[in-house]
Amino acid sequence: MNKPVQPKEPLVTHIYTADPSAHVFEGKIYIYPSHDLDHDGPSNDNGDQYAMEDYHVLSLDDFNSPCVDHGEALHLKDIPWAKQQLWAPDAAYKNNTYYLFFPARDKDHVFRLGVATSTSPAGPFTPQENYIPGSYSIDPAVFIDEDNKAYIYFGGLWGGQLEKWQTGEFLPDAAGPAENEPALGPRFAELNDDMLTFKDEPQEIKIVDEEGNPILAGDEDRRYFEGPWVHKYNGYYYLSYSTGTTHCLVYAMSEHPQGPYVFKGKILTPVIGWTTHHSIVQVEDKWYLFYHDCSLSDGVNHKRCVKYTELTYNVDGTIQTIDPYK
């Protein structure tokens, strides 16, 4: 299935795609991106420019094959509780079922996390009537460990509303911590066996430096912003995420799925466009980074395209930094 990674070209160009969550299902590579719409609405820190309404599932038989668009897998109009903005999704397989996890604003404009199910990795997906109880914010990523326990990671600042949940309830005027205070971390919860509900109330993940000190909110080169992803390599859990304002993908490592995670460094230097969001997947004996940029639209932030490149580990388990344009 593998071949040497060539210069990074968009996987598809007939639609705008972003936030790719890649998985190997049934011997193929399936990619679950968000679907950017071409529109002239407002652009702001609240993310109104990201007005996505549906999901398309993409797949590759192997890295020598063309990318297939399986069409619309889920649409906003079919989700009873959701009002707008189907942002970055993820998928998982358990119980002989494929689960699509996604964020959307509910009728009160509060971001929640929903689940839809299918018998096929390509969809279409049928949404649950309500969002996951106790869920909030954006960017769900699900990791199923070797013991078959499933964990969900989520949360994003600014438009993702994570700052507004610091007390455990939604406070619309809440601000984030001061620059000299610990940064907000992503949220973590174990999923029940049905994959539709949290086993317990979500907890905050701690990201610390090599000395065990928390990464501070003013440390924009290292602090968490959005887009968590967890994978496992040689017994270690890797939490990777976007720094947001400094436009990098970075990572931290832990011996436990819930952390704390020790910050290690950069995975991907800035791409064309403001946002950066990714996934990491093993395909046969190699590892790959799926990500997006705005090269297809010459830098328009809400017209993005999905790409991939090979990811390389050092002997000590650290990850080599990738320049997306070399």
Tens digits of per-residue pLDDT, 164-189? 999 999 999 999 999 999 999 999 99
The model's pTM: 0.95
Residue 226 is a catalytic residue: yes
The answer to whether residue 239 is domain-embedded is yes
The answer to whether residue 326 is domain-embedded is no
The answer to whether residue 5 is domain-embedded is no
**CA separation for the pair 276, 254 (Å, rounded):** 23
The answer to whether residue 8 is domain-embedded is no
At residue 219, the pLDDT reads: 98
DSSP label at residue 245:
G
The answer to whether residue 81 is domain-embedded is yes
SS3 179: coil
For position 130, which CATH number holds?
2.115.10.20
Residue 219 is a catalytic residue: no
The answer to whether residue 325 is domain-embedded is no
**CA separation for the pair 59, 69 (Å, rounded):** 7
The answer to whether residue 274 is domain-embedded is yes
Choose among 254, 250, 264, 256: nearest CA to 220: 250
Mean pLDDT (whole number) for 81-102? 98
At residue 1, the pLDDT reads: 53
Find the domain containing 214 and state its range: 16-311
**pLDDT tier at 251 (50, 70, 90 boundaries)?**
very high
At residue 301, the pLDDT reads: 87
Beta strands in 175-260 (DSSP E): 187-190, 203-204, 207-208, 226-233, 236-242, 249-254
Tens digits of per-residue pLDDT, 276-286? 999 999 999 99
Backbone phi, psi, residue 289, to 5°: -105, 125
The answer to whether residue 90 is domain-embedded is yes
Q: Which of 19, 139, 163, 204 is flagged as catalytic?
A: 19
Q: How many structural domains compose the chain?
A: 1
Q: Which of 36, 139, 204, 226 is flagged as catalytic?
A: 226
**CA separation for the pair 102, 291 (Å, rounded):** 17
Mean pLDDT (whole number) for 9-33? 97
259: how many CB neighbours lie within 10 A of its CB? 22
Tens digits of per-residue pLDDT, 200-239? 999 999 999 999 999 999 999 999 999 999 999 999 999 9
**CA separation for the pair 68, 45 (Å, rounded):** 33
